Amino acid sequence: MKKRLLFICSSAIDRSPTAANLFSSSQKYIAKTAGTHSDATQCVTQKLLDWADLIFVMSEGTNQHLSYLKNNFDIKGKKIHDLHVRDMYFRNDRRLIKLLKKRINIIIGEN
pLDDT of the chain, 111 residues: tens digit per residue: 999 999 999 999 999 999 999 999 999 999 999 999 999 999 999 999 999 999 999 999 999 999 999 999 999 999 999 999 999 999 999 999 999 999 999 999 864
Q: Give the integer Cα–Cα distance in Å for 52 and 27.
A: 16
Could you tell me the residue ranges of all domains in the chain? 3-108
pLDDT of residue 45: 98
Q: Give the integer Cα–Cα distance in Å for 83 and 41.
A: 20
Q: Give the integer Cα–Cα distance in Å for 95 and 110.
A: 19
Q: How is domain 3-108 classified at the CATH fold level?
A: Rossmann fold (3.40.50)
∠ Cα 86 89 92 (to 5°):
130
pLDDT of residue 111: 45
Cβ atoms within 10 A of the Cβ of 60, count? 17
Let me know how long the chain is: 111
Q: Give the integer Cα–Cα distance in Å for 49 and 7.
A: 10
